[in-house]
Amino acid sequence: MMKTTIKYDKVFQKVCRILMIVTGAGLLLFGIGIATEDVLPSFLEEYLVWISLFGVASIPLFPLSLLLYIDTVVYFKRLEKNHFEIPVRKKDYEDDLGRLPRTEAVENCYAKDSKISAVLALVAFGIFMIADLLYLNRWIDRVESAFVMCCMLMFFHLIFLLLAFVLWSQRDTRKYVDDVDIRNGRKVRYNVMSTIGLLILLSMVAAFSVSTADSMTGYIYKSKISSERSQW
């Protein structure tokens, strides 16, 4: 029987907390450094480059560590609700949830996560469909290729709709189980925090695709206008 791995332990949570505090301080110093650059004491000016580098590095690390820390808090709360002991080190239990001390057996307390996650994915799908239509409305009368570009964007953004269907199917407790339950041959469903993290990542890519398409179409339109003016 395939074991159910322990997702997090207290050691990992502590690492996330430290990283969150350090990178948060880095962002704060970065903001202060930019705001006070013109009035910064001379003896600190030589450190401004290092502060800037640290701040830039903290931009992706802070939200990542924050999300992971929140996820560990949620995971531990759910372990407790399922009557598991919170592990200090996963390796002490061979990274097997089945070996973790437990006072009572309950299952699928969080099956509703699948419905909530599916709704979140549908909301993201709707947002980007609206963004695609706004793009089309802006350029359809000015650039011939705008309709084709819009169709490409919509096709790519269908990933949110596909994700919603996948998440909705995970509500079946006969086939799926919470990440704080023993698998017993079933698959582990995505919890809400995992879904939010995935949606943030996909939304960043989707937003970049819309922005890139808009910039490219704008460049094509400007080139078209310049060409028409040159013929006059």
Contact 213, 147 (CB under 8 A): no
Higher pLDDT, 3 or 146: 146
Cβ pair 101, 140 in contact under 8 A: no
204 burial (CB, 10 Å; 0-12 / 13-18 / 19+) is exposed
Residues forming beta bridges with residue 177, ordered by sequence position: 188
% of the chain residues with pLDDT over 90: 63
pLDDT-based confidence at 127, cuts 50/70/90?
very high
- Number of CB atoms found within 10 A of residue 170's CB: 20
Give the mean pLDDT of 117-126: 97
Burial of residue 37 (number of CB atoms within 10 Å: 0-12, 13-18, 19+):
exposed
Whether the per-residue pLDDT at 143 is higher than 90: the answer is no
Query: What pLDDT sits at residue 41?
Result: 56
**Tokens 């009368």 identify what position?**
141
| pLDDT of 48 | 67
For the record, the structure tokens of 10 come out as 């207290």
Find out whether 13 and 69 touch, Cβ atoms under 8 Å: yes
Please give the model's pTM, rounded to 2 decimal places: 0.80
What's the confidence (pLDDT) of residue 124?
Answer: 97
Phi-psi region of 95 (alpha: psi -120 to 50; beta: other; left: phi over 0): left
Confidence of residue 104 (pLDDT cuts 50, 70, 90): confident
> What pLDDT score does 231 carry?
63
pLDDT tens-digit profile of 22-45? 999 888 877 776 666 554 555 555
Burial category of 70 from C-beta neighbours within 10 Å (exposed 0-12, middle 13-18, buried 19 and up): middle
**CA–CA separation, 156 vs 1, rounded Å?**
38
Residues in Cβ contact with 16 at an 8 Å cutoff, skipping those fewer than 6 apart: 65, 68, 69, 72
| Letter string b/e over residues 207-226, b meaning 16 or more CB atoms within 10 A of that residue's CB | eebbeebbeebeebeeeeee
Is residue 201 scored above 80 in pLDDT?
A: yes
How many of the other CB atoms lie within 10 Å of CB of 64?
A: 15
* Angle value at C-alpha 202, between 159 and 72, nearest 5 degrees: 120
Band of residue 117 on the pLDDT scale cut at 50, 70, 90? very high
* Per-chain mean pLDDT for the chain: 89
Per-residue pLDDT at 33: 67
Domain range list for the chain: 1-106, 107-232
The predicted-structure confidence for 206-227, as pLDDT tens digits, reads as follows 999 999 999 999 998 888 887 7
pLDDT digits (tens, 9 = 90+) for 166-200: 999 999 999 999 989 988 888 999 999 999 999 99
Cα gap 61→84, rounded to integer Å: 30
